[in-house]
Amino acid sequence: MTTQSPNLSSILLGGGCFWCVEAVFTGLRGIISAEPGYAGGSVDHPSYEEVCTGRTGHAEVVKVVFDPAEIGLEDVLRVFFTTHDPTQLNRQGNDVGTQYRSVIFADATQQETARKVRDEIAAEGIWADPIVTRIEGPVHFWPAEEKHHDYFARNPQTAYCAAVVAPKVAKARKLYRDRLKQPD
């Protein structure tokens, strides 16, 4: 899934609530953008409310656009597999439903890399339970409504952000401090 620039790549990552995934990736060097949206379902132009019912088949995902010269796909995937719980089927913590499934939508080459990184993470024993992340082919990405973009940055004090998003961001900053963007 290459973007317009031949030097950039993109991949769709679903790791529960897209506010968490977006907030984790936004802070990393080499990440050009992390856009929340929906993928993998049967309804065109789904709304957040429709996706939340679990009846559209979509997962909340983030389209991560990255510069492989600064952060490789393996590193992007390692961040993904270590900052959400890839052992939970159709949920992340208290967020339950297929819309919160752990999933990667990618082209064939990216799928091969994703399987390799998944297997490495499993062998390292980071997670006690088996990884259940689905690795699937390319699908249409539907951008989320504007109110969901940069949600954590704009709403850090909301109960959900403080209790769920902030700990994931803190974990990512601790694990990947050498990859953090430098303040302007």
Active site residues: 17
SS (H, E, C) 82-103: HHCCCCCCCEECCEECHHHCEE
121 neighbors 164 (Cβ within 8 angstroms): no
Closest among 73, 83, 79 to 108, alpha carbons compared: 73
Closest among 139, 184, 175, 182 to 24, alpha carbons compared: 175
